[in-house]
Amino acid sequence: MPVIKYPRVRDPLFYEWDRKAQKCGLRHTVYAVNGDQYTGEWLDNLKHGKGTQIWKSTGAIYSGDWKFGKRDGYGSYSILDPVTKEYKRVYTGWWENDRRGGRGMFFYPNGELYEGEWSNGLRSGWGKMHYKDGSTYEGQWLTDQPNGQGLLRLPNGNRYEGGWKDGKKHGPGKYFYPDKGQLLEGIWVADIPKCGVLVDFGRDNAPAPTQFPLPEIELHDPAGVLAQARAMFDDSHN
């Protein structure tokens, strides 16, 4: 009895071509139409896993984690210096949904440095800023500005500890003058002290104390003017 052989059913060639074109797993460098290039891992045609992207228009480079086509996880972003042709680090830390999110370090072009928490690409949470003039701010941030409680240290040794709002001293705070051996404790509004008490503080060890010590003032109000002002400030902001 003759054996009848039927031709094996095969998918059209374009199915095979499409399967091979799908990017999944570790791949060599893939070039986009605009000249950008990516080397790393893929999942369902999306950058996913570890990978390095180079943008042709700017020469910037990102190396780190990806999730469904976006920078997500831990990674480093650097830009190319047009003069020296060397890469300068801009940000190293955590990313969320293609933006800086979590803890990270940002290096500014003028030499300033921020190390701390980020949210939606902005400084938010707890962080420390190193300014070009030598001063530092460490404390709470919100939408890229000091907000909440923080400590500002100036190059001359003076410091402010207290409340902040929209990048300015705001609310109860203490301003220390170690060079003069004095302390101003009061209420600030938009960087301006509205009321407070100036007292000697470590005057004996101050390098340049004022000529005469401050006289001690006895308040008839046992609660103190400063305490009343602070209570009024809290009530007006509740």
Query: Are residues 21 and 116 located together in one domain of the fold?
Result: no
Query: Are residues 31 and 70 located together in one domain of the fold?
Result: yes
**Cβ 173 vs Cβ 192: under 8 Å:** no
- Please list, in sequence order, all residues whose beta carbon lies within 8 angstroms of the beta carbon of residue 204, skipping any fewer than 6 positions away: 181
**Cβ 37 vs Cβ 52: under 8 Å:** no
Query: Are residues 132 and 208 located together in one domain of the fold?
Result: yes
Q: Is there a domain that residue 232 lies in?
A: no
Q: Is there a domain that residue 2 lies in?
A: no
Q: Is there a domain that residue 23 lies in?
A: yes
How sure is the predictor about 220, in pLDDT bands with cuts at 50, 70 and 90? very low
Q: CATH no. for residue 149? A: 2.20.110.10
In this prediction the pTM is: 0.76
Q: Is there a domain that residue 223 lies in?
A: no
pLDDT (mean) for 147-162: 96
CA-derived radius of gyration, the chain:
30
Query: Are residues 202 and 139 located together in one domain of the fold?
Result: yes
Query: Are residues 146 and 198 located together in one domain of the fold?
Result: yes
Count of structural domains within the chain: 2
- Please list, in sequence order, all residues whose beta carbon lies within 8 angstroms of the beta carbon of residue 78, skipping any fewer than 6 positions away: 60, 61, 62, 87, 88, 89, 90
Query: Are residues 156 and 197 located together in one domain of the fold?
Result: yes
Query: Are residues 74 and 112 located together in one domain of the fold?
Result: no
How sure is the predictor about 17, in pLDDT bands with cuts at 50, 70 and 90? very low
Q: Is there a domain that residue 138 lies in?
A: yes
Query: Are residues 117 and 69 located together in one domain of the fold?
Result: no
Distance CA 232, CA 238 (A): 10
pLDDT of residue 200: 77
Domain residues for the domain of 162 are: 108-215
pLDDT (mean) for 126-155: 98
Q: Is there a domain that residue 57 lies in?
A: yes
Q: Is there a domain that residue 9 lies in?
A: no
Q: Is there a domain that residue 228 lies in?
A: no
64-104: pLDDT as tens digits: 999 999 999 999 999 998 888 899 999 999 999 999 999 99
- pLDDT at residue 196 tops 50: yes
CA 115 to chain CA mean position, Å: 6
